[in-house]
Amino acid sequence: VGDQVITGAVITELDDRFEPVGETKELACDVICIAVGLTPTTDILGEAGCRMLYVPQLCGNVPQRDRTMRTSNPDFYTAGDATGIEEASAAMVEGRIAGLSAAASLGFPTEHGKLDEYWSRLTALRAGEAGARICQGLDCVLVQGWEGGKDA
């Protein structure tokens, strides 16, 4: 949304065929970030005051975050390659967690139990040898929850 500058975003859930499901929602915002690749640019997170750590198991500098994907800057949620290099399916689940959590923090109703369901999916995706390395890295960056934060 916006002509010369971003003033908002229109969001909707998509099904497996990328067709809209349910209602669309419009949110006010001034930045939308999307990144693809194995060398994520996380500079904006550091510049926004997010606590960053170099974690070799996650392939670089990544933000500390809680299980809602909320960073130390309460206005920033993170997902995908910005949180560490994994496969695309993990990035998509993290995106769902971040989106659900951001929506809940703005007062939008969310389906009870979805956060736990998404974390169960991530746990399954992170099984095996490569997943063990990722989980080691996550132990360095995941925090119990930021003071005043909401859990979706």
At residue 149, the pLDDT reads 44
At residue 151, the pLDDT reads 41
Average pLDDT, the chain: 87
pLDDT digits (tens, 9 = 90+) for 43-96: 899 999 999 999 999 888 999 999 999 999 999 999 998 998 888 899 999 999
Cβ pair 13, 92 in contact under 8 A: no
Please list, in sequence order, all residues whose beta carbon lies within 8 angstroms of the beta carbon of residue 101, skipping any fewer than 6 positions away: 68, 69, 70, 77, 115, 150, 151, 152
Structure-token pair, residue 48: 């926004």
How many CB atoms are located within 10 Å of the residue 35 CB? 13
Residue 51 exposure: Cα atoms within 13 Å on the Cβ side? 13
Q: Where are the domains of the chain?
A: 1-32, 42-141
Which CATH topology does 42-141 take?
FAD/NAD(P)-binding domain (3.50.50)
Q: Is the pTM of this model over 0.75?
A: no
For the segment 121-145, the average pLDDT, to the nearest whole number, is 89
At residue 124, the pLDDT reads 93
